[in-house]
Amino acid sequence: MKQFISFVKKEFLHILRDTKTLLILLGMPIALIMIFGFALTTEVKNSKFAVLDFSKDAATEEIINELNASRYFDLVAALHTYQDIEAIFHKGKAKMIIVFPPSFKSDLQHFNTAPVQIIADASDPNVATTLTGYATTIIMDYQKRVTHDRKLPHTINTQVRMLYNPQMKGTYSFVPGVISMILMLVCTMMTAITVVREKETGTMEVLLVSPVQPIKVILAKAVPYLLISIVNIISILLLSVFVLDVPIRGSLILLLSESILFTITCLSFGLLISTLTDSQQMAMFISLTGLFLPTLMLSGFLFPIENMPMVLQVVSNIVPARWYYQIVRAVMIKGLPLITVWKETFILTGMTVFLLMASLKNFKTRLA
């Protein structure tokens, strides 16, 4: 035990002495949360739009006012001819244009139907889809109000309720994603690098000649990063609750224990990498391409797994972050208990055990 404590102390000294890296390790989650929370938002606000109104009656005016009044749109120009449309898109002054045909209101009143054309700049398809969606909703709202005056024979009213995230905030899905990314980065990459560094400098040999058991060497390396990760988890959670207003609906203890489980998975992954490589560059390369990218792409955090081709869906099953991401979303955002995430928890535990066994076995055979 005394050996182990000397070891852990030494690891802490390494980390504390390298203040730059420590600052990065502790600052990165804060920076990422801020970036994802405020800058990289998929919500579309104050988008510029123009109108080409051939009708200019009370109805079109009301619709335009309503669009302009919503927080999604800002009216920038009133156009006069079709040629203006091309011109305004070229200049990039507007993202969407609404075209009303002549006699819009009278058509609506007399024939019970009137077309509106929405033209969007689809060079950014996601924004275009979102904008046309918002615009359509606003126009439909107007129509509802108009038709309420007269009873229609058959109407279906859809009533949509966005459960768990009624305001459709992007941060709700970013926070769990950022947690899994940070843990992957800190635990996997840093553990791999710190073990390989000892191989590079030659100190690993001296340790192996000493009476310390290899497993203690390895565990001692993991302890400081486990602690740093816990600090990171707590700082991310505090930021999300108090700065981004993302609530923790489920049990905090469950969330923390699942996070520690995932941390251990990542640490084991790092140890496995360290037994497979002999240089820090290689360790970093494997951590980034082999783990960080799949975590980003296949965990469901950036792209929904359901939309992926079958092959990638299958591959995503072996990405630990996928399971952790689901757990955090379920516990944190939906407030579900352990019983609903037992499958994910079980898979993560299995992965951890497998990775730990593999790295220990590898570590021993490398010595022979």
Partner 1 sequence: MDTEKIIITEKLTKRFADFVAVDAISFFVNKGEIFGFLGANGAGKTTAMRMLCGLSKPTAGKATIAGFDIYRQTEKIKKNIGYMSQKFSLYEDLTVKENIRFYGGIYGKSNIFIKEKAALLLHQLKLEKEADKLVGDLPLGWKQKLAFSVAIFHEPQLVFLDEPTGGVDPVTRREFWNMIYEASERGITIFVTTHYMDEAEYCSRVAIMVDGRIEALDTPEVLKSTYTATTMDDVFLQLARKAQRSELG
The window from 6-14, 46-54, 171-179, 345-353 that contacts partner 1 (CB under 8 A) reads 6-14
Residue placing its CB nearer to partner 1 in the complex, 166 or 202: 202
Q: Does the footprint of partner 1 cover residue 151 (CB under 8 A)?
A: no
**Smallest gap from residue 216 Cβ to partner 1 (A):** 9
Phi-psi sector, 59: left (phi>0), alpha (psi -120 to 50), beta: alpha
Q: Are strands 47-53 and 96-100 parallel, antiparallel or unpaired?
A: parallel
**Smallest gap from residue 94 Cβ to partner 1 (A):** 57
**Smallest gap from residue 220 Cβ to partner 1 (A):** 10
Number of residues that bind partner 1 (CB under 8 A): 24
Residue placing its CB nearer to partner 1 in the complex, 126 or 201: 201
SS3 261: helix
**Smallest gap from residue 200 Cβ to partner 1 (A):** 9
**Smallest gap from residue 9 Cβ to partner 1 (A):** 7
CB 338 within 8 A of CB 254: yes
Q: Does the footprint of partner 1 cover residue 5 (CB under 8 A)?
A: yes
Angle in degrees, CA 270, 324, 237, rounded to 5 = 95
Residue placing its CB nearer to partner 1 in the complex, 163 or 368: 368
> Which one of residues 10, 45, 80, 110 is an interface residue with partner 1 (CB under 8 A)?
10
Residue placing its CB nearer to partner 1 in the complex, 14 or 48: 14
Distance CA 192, CA 271 (A): 6
The window from 10-18, 47-55, 86-94, 287-295 that contacts partner 1 (CB under 8 A) reads 10-18
Residue 158, phi then psi, degrees to nearest 5: -85, 135
Binding mask 174-213 for partner 1 (x = CB under 8 A): ---------------------------xxx-xxxxxxxx-
Residues 12-31 that bind partner 1 (CB under 8 A): 13-14, 17-18
Amino acid at 265: T
**Smallest gap from residue 177 Cβ to partner 1 (A):** 34
- Residue 181's CB is within 10 A of a number of other CB atoms, namely 22
User: How are strands ordered across the β-sheet holding 73-79?
Assistant: 73-79, 47-53, 96-100, 117-120
Residue placing its CB nearer to partner 1 in the complex, 126 or 210: 210
Distance CA 189, CA 186 (A): 6
Residue placing its CB nearer to partner 1 in the complex, 78 or 206: 206
> Which one of residues 3, 103, 257, 362 is an interface residue with partner 1 (CB under 8 A)?
3
Residue placing its CB nearer to partner 1 in the complex, 6 or 136: 6
Residue placing its CB nearer to partner 1 in the complex, 19 or 46: 19
> Which one of residues 6, 106, 313, 317 is an interface residue with partner 1 (CB under 8 A)?
6
Token duo for residue 116: 């509106």
Count H helices and E strands in the chain, helices first.
16, 4
Distance CA 45, CA 49 (A): 12
- Residue 351's CB is within 10 A of a number of other CB atoms, namely 19
Output the 3-class SS for 88-153: HHHHCCCCEEEEECCCHHHHHHHHCCCCCEEEECCCCHHHHHHHHHHHHHHHHHHHHHHHHCCCCC
**Smallest gap from residue 202 Cβ to partner 1 (A):** 3
Q: Which residues bind partner 1 (CB under 8 A)?
A: 2-3, 5-7, 9-10, 13-14, 17-18, 201-203, 205-212, 367-368
